[in-house]
Chains A and B, each alone.
Chain A
Amino acid sequence: MSAANGAGARPAVEVRDLCVSMIGSGVPIVSGVSFDVAERETLGLVGESGSGKSTVAVALLGFARPGLEITGGSVRIGEVEVLDLKDEALREARGELVSYVPQDPAAGLNPAHRIGTQLREAFQVHEKLGKNELRGRIEELLKAVNLPTDKQFLRCYPHQLSGGQQQRVVIAIAFACRPRLIVLDEPTTGLDVTTQRYILETINDMAANFGASAVYVSHDLPAVAEVAARTAVMYAGRIVEVATTEQLFSQPRHPYSAGLLNAAPSAHQANRLVGIEGRPPRPGHWPQGCSYAPRCPHARADCRQAVPPLAPTESGSLVRCLHPMAVSDGGVLRLVPSPKPEVKGGEALEIERLVADYGGRQILHEVGFAVKEGECTAVVGESGSGKTTLARCLVGLHTRWDGEIRLDGESLRQGARERSREQLRRMQYIFQNPFGSLNPTMTVAENIEEPLRHFESLSRNERRAKALEVLGTVHLGEDFADVLPGRISGGERQRVAVGRALVVNPEVLVCDEITSALDVSVQALLVEQLRDLQMQRGLTMVFITHNLAVVRSIAQNVIVLQTGTIVEAGSVEGVLSAPKHPYTRQLLEDLPTLDPAEQATAGGAK
């Protein structure tokens, strides 16, 4: 099993045939998961939402979330079999032998206790320490994660710290008792790239200094590439590939791994992104045979017979596929650059000296830029940069602004209610969160028909026809028409939202972080779809995002927003290849990347 590991020594952590199922129904959530982690090694565990990676993560601590139970397998850490431990012994093992860093540090820290109390508790539940010794150990920990050690900091409550600080406190707690294994469950999700970079470095340093093995669970391929020496890919509750990270990202052997890589955008090259159509099977509905076969472009008849074993390949990795991809084709289509749309002459959207406030605070300071017809301009910024406020000013949802916004040369009023119907029709807005932007009490078709009711006077049948047509445009098909939004996936919902915007034939589309809630394979589909629309219809787009890699693949121009001010603007090519402003440079440097070459320069501590 430990083929990928090479060395003869017994691995520090050995997981064999781990199975987790729902209590009662016995529906498997995780099935036959096996991997090793060597001493001081970090293993990446990659998967999209619903793959079961987080269930595996907590199972390593002998824990199953409510409604689930560990039904079999073994988790050996050092000499201890974790799954055999009961009550007090298990309690002792957690934190001391194996510890856990949760996804959301703000939720993981108890809001009712001070930071100092929570740090002390990490020790106190396991060992009796003298007051001075305790203070010394806490100081040492805080220094290791580069947090202040003074009394005032220890007296803070979690909500008084920034997200990055909270995450470092949680990491400190996890390392407190110097566990053999530390499980990190998506520890950088929701953090800014700069903070994310910092946390990744902290994790690497801590793992090295404290001599711990680590399992790093994430959906974020570049982040995994930064920290993990080896990576396992999970799909529908099973591991489908285990390889060294370098190998995996340059020569994936499982079609799903390849699919993930093809879907991931790069900040350094404008590639055509290839998404994965369809969606993963839900628990209880796993197909016979290979779970990925229904979506796999290379699937053959025998794939649907039985679940393939996780078998070693000639390149040393383990792959759960009967027909692994050949090393030569690699599956990575990195060399297909994304096509460039034709940009016509006129300026579709002009923004001048835009000033806006929110709750008495000024959010935007004299922002100005223009978007040419048929062009996509990306607005990039971290949380708090004012990018969403900017988008909402454009469409008239945020009404407290000054300055000038012109659509096709016509000056727009502040609020949507004050604008003409025609102006409103021409510019459509797509929301960030696909789970909130569709009316849950209306079917998909009714949701799409909603703007038609307002903007056009059509008969019932005409509206319906238009809705069906637009469903085709967004590749959903008429089958989705009479379904409630609650029944479809996030990616599908976001396509419905795009369809709802397109149905009134707008000229400008304002997209506010529309891919941030989606998995990469779904994000890729959506990005490509938008580009197709841009090419075919000459749509103008304002694409708000925090993700520089997505910018590279969809936009022609980019403006970088920092605390409400434009610090850099220009062509995507120019800004991302040769950033001038230090902030832009910092953002690019901090961005985790899949490129092994880039990683060496970006300073991924390996």
Chain B
Amino acid sequence: MHAEADSGAVVPGPGSPEAGGQQGLSHWMRVHPVTSMIVRRILLGVVTIVMIAIIVYAATLVIPGNAATAILGRNAQPAKVVQLEKELGLNEPVLTRFVNWAENAIQLNFGNSLGEGVAVTQREKATENSVTSLARDRLANSAILVAAAALISTLLGLLTGVYAAYRRDGFFDTVGSVVSLVASALPEFVVAIFCVLLFATSLFTWFPAISVLEPGQSILSEPEKLVLPVLALVIVVTPYMFRMTRGAMIEALDSDYVEFARMKGASTARIAFRHALPNALPPIIQVVGLNLLFLAGGIVLVEAIFNFPGIGSMLVAAINGRDVNEIQFIVILLAVFYVLLNIITDVCVLLVTPRRRYPR
């Protein structure tokens, strides 16, 4: 969790000479460290995505029965299955099929939705049956959900974390630390259930317990359906923001440069915001990045509970319906999100760390 320098390999930290030899790129290219880091990260990201694509493709190959049986149903005539297999190219060698699939995937063509799991009504009305077009609206809804939860939890975590660090061991800090410890341990679907119990059914009935929408409708048209899913995610994610911000701020406030700033006669506000915060930013940015990643995974359960029309519930439905194409698409989408987010996080960290931005 701490500034995961290991995977970056760009940090010019003290390492053993024997284990070294890792600084390859910047060594022979003489480029700015930021550029070389971005290039390196993008290359690594591409490799990661390719590996994940292979895993995903390989995993879905093992599904008992293939796309043909999935389309025609279990009781289809064997002859028809063979026929369709031929049409779908399922009798080609695995490698050829993977290359074909990958080529299509790069062009965002993940084929048609197959199974009988996903929101049937939606499929019937869709002009096209392609996975990507089915996912478009849901993707927008999920993005709104994640963005709202990320924004709120980041602001909340940052402010409470800074304050708790500043009044270390005070009332707020003690209470905040315990609350965050408890909240961070709760399973997200349990949190979601409690939210429903409290605010939708038993205690208050302020918000709808489920967030079903008409197909093609945006969640923004009925924002009250967004409240509880966002709340559940915020409760799960904010504790990490709080703890990391608090920790990073405490470390910065305990540093020699803050002591020196005190000795210079700098004011309290100046010490907190000019001296401590800029140095606490890198780990904070890292945890914001990690939280967004976590949200990307966390939406699966939360969306399932609220029947929220996003890609998380789509994935669950696809898995239940063994819809290979949809599974492939969503998993790869999440992987690309992960890789992009990692790169953005690392670049941001680099930008706020002069020690790494300017070589000696």
Contacts and interface: CB of A to CB of B under 8 A. Distances in A.
Direct A/B contact, Cβ within 8 angstroms:
yes
Contact of A110 (B262, B265, B275, B360): B275
A157 B352 CA distance: 12
Interface string B253-288: 011110111111111001000110011000000000
B360 A112 contact: no
Nearest to A176: B264
A358 B17 contact: yes
Contacts of A100: 260, 263-264
A111 B354 contact: yes
A108 B256 CA distance: 5
B255 A107 contact: yes
B124 interface: no
Contacts of A65: 259
Interface in B168-206: none
A91 B257 contact: no
A510 B283 CA distance: 41
Contacts of A159: 354-355, 358, 360
A92 B358 CA distance: 34
B87 interface: no
B259 A102 contact: yes
Contacts of A92: 265
A563 interface: no
A404 interface: no
A109 interface: yes
A436 interface: no
Interface residues of A, number: 38
B260 A125 contact: no
A391 B17 CA distance: 15
Given A159-B360, A398-B17, A111 B265 contact: no
Contact of B267 (A96, A122, A125, A358): A125
B18 interface: yes
A63 B263 contact: yes
Contacts of A93: 265
B256 A112 contact: no
A157 B355 CA distance: 8
Contacts of B136: none
Given A107-B257, A360-B27, A125 B279 contact: no
B27 A125 contact: no
Given A108-B257, A111-B257, A358-B17, A94 B354 contact: no
Chain B interface size range: 20 to 34
A63 B256 CA distance: 13
Contacts of A359: 17, 20
A466 B275 CA distance: 55
Interface string A141-174: 0000000000000000101100000000010010
Contact of B264 (A58, A111, A122): A122
A61 B263 contact: yes
A104 B256 contact: yes
B13 to A, nearest CB: 12
Interface in B65-122: none
Interface in A24-66: 58, 61, 63, 65-66
Contacts of A112: 275, 278-279, 352, 354
A126 interface: yes
A567 to B, nearest CB: 24
B263 A95 contact: yes
Contacts of B27: 360
Contacts of B275: 110, 112
Interface string A552-577: 00000000000000000000000000
A288 B254 CA distance: 35
A400 interface: yes
A125 B266 contact: yes
A213 interface: no
Interface string A394-421: 0000111000000000000000000000
A33 to B, nearest CB: 19
A91 B265 contact: yes
A249 to B, nearest CB: 30
Interface in A162-216: 170, 173
Interface string B337-360: 000000000000000101100101
A321 B261 CA distance: 39
A111 B355 contact: yes
A94 B260 contact: no
A400 B267 contact: no
Of the candidates B266, B279, B352, the one having the most CB atoms from chain A within 10 angstroms of its own CB is: B266
B283 to A, nearest CB: 13
Interface string B9-38: 000000001101100000100000000000
Contacts of B255: 107
A99 interface: yes
Contact of B358 (A107, A110, A160, A360): A160
Contact of A99 (B18, B264, B274): B264
Interface in A107-150: 107-114, 121-122, 125-126
B266 A121 contact: yes
A58 B260 CA distance: 10
A108 B258 CA distance: 8
A66 B169 CA distance: 12
Contacts of B257: 107-111
A114 B354 CA distance: 9
B358 A95 contact: no
Contacts of B267: 91, 125
Given A66-B254, A109-B257, A125 B265 contact: yes
Nearest to A61: B263
B98 to A, nearest CB: 40
A65 B263 CA distance: 12
Contacts of B279: 110-112
Interface in B224-270: 254-257, 259-267, 270
Nearest to B357: A157
Nearest to B356: A159
Interface centre among B17, B278, B279, by most chain A C-beta atoms within 10 angstroms, is B17
B252 to A, nearest CB: 9
Nearest to A106: B256
Given A110-B275, A110-B279, A95 B355 contact: no
A398 B358 CA distance: 30
Contact of A94 (B17, B256, B265, B360): B265
A218 B260 CA distance: 18
B176 to A, nearest CB: 20
A392 to B, nearest CB: 10
A110 B256 CA distance: 9
Contacts of A111: 257, 279, 354-355
A85 to B, nearest CB: 11
Nearest to A99: B263
Nearest to B268: A91
Contacts of A58: 259, 263
Interface string A60-89: 010101100000000000000000000000
A125 B278 contact: no
A160 B354 CA distance: 10
B358 to A, nearest CB: 6
A63 B255 CA distance: 15
Contacts of A157: 354-355, 358
A61 B267 CA distance: 15
Interface string B278-300: 11000000000000000000000
Nearest to A88: B267
A109 B260 contact: yes
A399 B355 contact: no
Contact of A102 (B18, B260, B274, B278): B260
18 contacts: A58-B263, A61-B263, A66-B254, A91-B267, A94-B264, A95-B264, A99-B263, A107-B256, A108-B260, A110-B275, A111-B355, A112-B278, A112-B352, A121-B266, A126-B265, A173-B264, A399-B18, A400-B18
Given A95-B265, A102-B260, A360-B21, 9 more contacts: A95-B263, A100-B264, A110-B257, A110-B279, A112-B279, A114-B354, A157-B358, A159-B360, A359-B20
